[in-house]
Amino acid sequence: MAEETVSKNFIEQEIEKDLREGVYDHVCTRFPPEPNGYLHIGHAKSILLNYGIAQEYGGTFHMRFDDTNPTKEKTEFVESILEDIRWLGADWKDHLYFASDYFDIMYECAVKLIKKGKAYVCDLTPDEIREYRGTLTEPGKNSPYRERSVEENLELFEGMKAGKYEDGSRVLRAKIDMASPNINMRDPILYRVAHMSHHNTGDKWCIYPMYDFAHPIEDAVEGITHSLCTLEFEDHRPLYDWVVRECEFENPPRQIEFAKLYLTNVVTGKRYIKKLVEEKIVDGWDDPRLVSIAALRRRGFTPESIKMFVDMCGISKSQSSADYAMLEYCIREDLKLKRPRMMAVLDPVKLVIDNYPEDQVEELDAPNNQENEELGSRKVPFCRELYIEREDFMEEPPKKYFRLFPGNEVRLMNAYFVTCTGCEKDEDGNVTVVHCTYDPETKCGTGFTGRKVKGTIHWVPAPYAVKATARLYENLIDEEKGVYNKEDGSLNLNPNSMTVKEIYVEPALAGAQAYESFQFVRQGYFCVDSHDSRPDALVFNRIVSLKSSFKLPKK
């Protein structure tokens, strides 16, 4: 059967089992970020997983901001997160929610637990609560406030809500089991007093629910069936199940955990990125050297390439780290046939064709992508003076150098064969001009088969070339040393993570728009920078070079 050839990941298998057994008759997933920073490549995995699952099973995907913590959240991040998710192609349709909209329901749930004798107000100080909690090897002990009556608990909890008590003076705790081997079950805190304004509810509340209490309620209220989260929540699952059961939700959601996506030698922690931004080591949260989704977009990655990467990483229960080279492989694969291949010279030196008529200009035809004819062709002006890469000429070449050196003939891409005749140098011995002659019989595209040359080099016409800026990137991290300094925990930075170059590009690139990307032949894929590029001063970010160190694993 054809179906059997497609292997399902363990989450799909669990969902199919639930559907088969009638635990749920539909699928509803969600992505629940806290609006306290920018999303990164790891979040993309979670978004694409949740959205993909909903689509696969004809279900619904919810976008929910987990904004229950008033201290850290900012509305600024709400917009950036929505933009990133939209760009990735995950469509929440009209299912956009804010956890803070459920504060009333959460409060009612807490009251219900108190009435059932499943929650109590505790007056221990934060230090005492920690002390009473016990350790991994020792059970905790009961709080002296654990046996308060339902009436007293209700009155105190109402007092907490009414603002009668100071921050940290009282909490509402679940009454579960102080001797549980799972510390999360030792009467966890459900509500705390915090006199803080919330971006959505303003000053309405001075008590706020804890994550482990709020999250399952959010899922249940929305009718989520499968709450997919990362492995660190595995030990919280018994509490998740306790909350939805004791609050008596019908068809409660089910939590399933999967491993986080990590990239080797890449910084993803918000704390570190924040520091890099504040110290102006990078140019904001979307600096193209970072792997926030906004940064990847600015660098020139596509949603398709990120999806390919996430798919290649797969979904599993075991923690692992993917190689950045794999992400590079994915963007190369995605752009290979999609984007035009143009000529740009990154380290220019002049090439003069001495036998080419001085006032002649030809418009040569250049295919935009030899592997994809649908991209058509363009005209490139050709004339006596060109720019070529400095490294494409050597006065005294080593063996196996097939580019320009005195007496050698090469092909100028999309143009003619030229034979090098020599060069001019300045006082310091630097080459300033390379000279050559061309053979008019060898025009590209005319079917010339007279002789073969081993080297083909790219060029731009000097008088018509457009001056631009290129930014070449390396890893922000010094890979030899690893991400973190062992002594002080700081980041080991690579001082060469960005090189800025004045380059020449062919005239067809004039007017290139932000986010447009191109292959510059022999140099890599480049994308027009969305912050700094202007029509009269183009700035290109190198997405990736053409060479790859990544090999696809054999199936």
DSSP 415-450: S-EEEEEEEEE-TTS-EEEEEEEEEGGG-TTTT--S
127 to 186, contacts with ligand ATP by CB under 6 A? Answer: none
> Which residue in the set 14, 16, 18, 34 belongs to the binding site for ligand ATP (CB under 6 A)?
34
Rounded distance, CA 448 to CA 57, Å? 57
The SS3 of residue 26 is coil
173 or 236: CB nearest ligand ATP: 236
- Under the binding rule (CB under 6 A), the answer on residue 230 touching ligand ATP is yes
Residues in the chain: 555
Q: Which CB atom, from 43 or from 341, has the smaller least distance to ligand ATP? A: 43
Pick the binder of ligand ATP from 112, 118, 260, 481 (CB under 6 A): 260
Quick one: which segment of 27-35, 96-104, 288-296, 534-542 binds ligand ATP (CB under 6 A)?
27-35
For 60-78, letters b (16+ CB in 10 Å) and e give bbbbbbbbbbbeebeeebb
Tell me whether residue 260 or residue 411 sits nearer to ligand ATP (CB atom).
Answer: 260
Which of 68, 100, 143, 268 lies at the binding interface for ligand ATP (CB under 6 A)? Answer: 268
Q: What is the rounded distance in angstroms from the CA atom of residue 30 to the CA atom of residue 181?
A: 30
Distances 493 to 199, 321, 478, 490 between C-alpha atoms, Å: 36, 20, 5, 9
Task: Report d(CA 185, CA 235) in Å as an integer.
Answer: 9
Q: Which of residues 43 and 471 has its CB atom nearest to ligand ATP in the complex?
A: 43
| Selected range binding ligand ATP among 26-34, 305-313, 416-424, 426-434, rule: CB under 6 A | 26-34
Site for ligand ATP in 270-289 (CB under 6 A): 270
Residues 397-426 that bind ligand ATP (CB under 6 A): none
> Closest distance between ligand ATP and the C-beta of residue 494, in Å?
22
Shortest Cβ 32–ligand ATP spacing (Å)? 6
State the minimum distance, in angstroms, from the CB of residue 409 to ligand ATP: 53
Give me 270's structure tokens.
Answer: 């918000």
CB of 371 to ligand ATP, least distance (A): 34
43 interacts with ligand ATP by CB under 6 A: yes
Q: Is the dihedral of CA 405, 407, 408, 413 positive or negative?
A: positive
Closer residue to ligand ATP in complex, CB, 257/328: 257
Please identify, using beta-carbon distances, which residue of 156 and 229 lies nearer to ligand ATP.
Answer: 229
Contacts of 512 (CB under 8 A, 6+ apart): 518, 528, 533, 538
d(CA 337, CA 62): 34
Question: Contact with ligand ATP (CB under 6 A): which of 229, 282, 330, 483?
Answer: 229
**Binding pattern for the stretch 185-224 against ligand ATP, x by CB under 6 A and - elsewhere:** ----------------------------------------
C-beta of 170 vs 297, nearer to ligand ATP = 297
CB 258 to ligand ATP: min, Å: 7
Alpha helices in 149-292 (DSSP H): 150-161, 211-222, 237-246, 270-278
How is residue 5 written in tokens? 């050839």
Select 316 or 485, whichever has its Cβ closest to ligand ATP: 316
**Which C-beta is closer to ligand ATP: that of 32 or that of 348?**
32
Stretch that binds ligand ATP, among 31-39, 242-250, 276-284, 343-351 (CB under 6 A): 31-39
Q: Is 42 in the site for ligand ATP (CB under 6 A)?
A: yes
Residue nearest to ligand ATP (CB): 42
Angle at 329 between CA 270 and CA 291, to 5 degrees: 10
Query: Given the rule CB under 6 A, which of 260-268, 318-326, 410-418, 486-494 is the region that contacts ligand ATP?
Result: 260-268
Helices and strands of the chain, counted as H and E runs? 13, 27
Q: Which residue has the tokens 């447009």?
A: 516
Residue 476 corresponds to which amino acid? L
CA atoms within 13 A on the CB side of 282: 25
216 vs 340, beta carbon nearer ligand ATP: 216
Query: Distance (Å, rounded) from C-alpha 507 to C-alpha 504?
Result: 9
Q: How far is the CB of 521 from ligand ATP (least distance, A)?
A: 36
Q: Provide Rg for the chain, Cα atoms.
A: 31
Q: Are 192 and 171 in contact (CB under 8 A)?
A: yes
Minimum distance from residue 81 beta carbon to ligand ATP (Å): 8
- Exposure b/e, 12-32, CB count within 10 A at least 16 = b: bebbeebbeeeebeebbbbbb
Which residue, 321 or 513, has its beta carbon nearer to ligand ATP?
321
Could you tell me which stretch among 40-48, 177-185, 395-403, 523-531 binds ligand ATP (CB under 6 A)? 40-48
Near ligand ATP by CB under 6 A: residue from 113, 171, 261, 460? 261
Identify the residue among 27, 28, 38, 46 touching ligand ATP (CB under 6 A). Answer: 46
Q: Is 33 in the site for ligand ATP (CB under 6 A)?
A: yes
User: Smallest distance, Å, CB 182 to ligand ATP?
Assistant: 19
Nearest 5°: the CA angle 397, 402, 403 is 80
CA dist., res. 53 & res. 8, Å (int): 11
- Return residues touching ligand ATP (CB under 6 A): 32-34, 42-43, 45-46, 229-230, 260-261, 268, 270
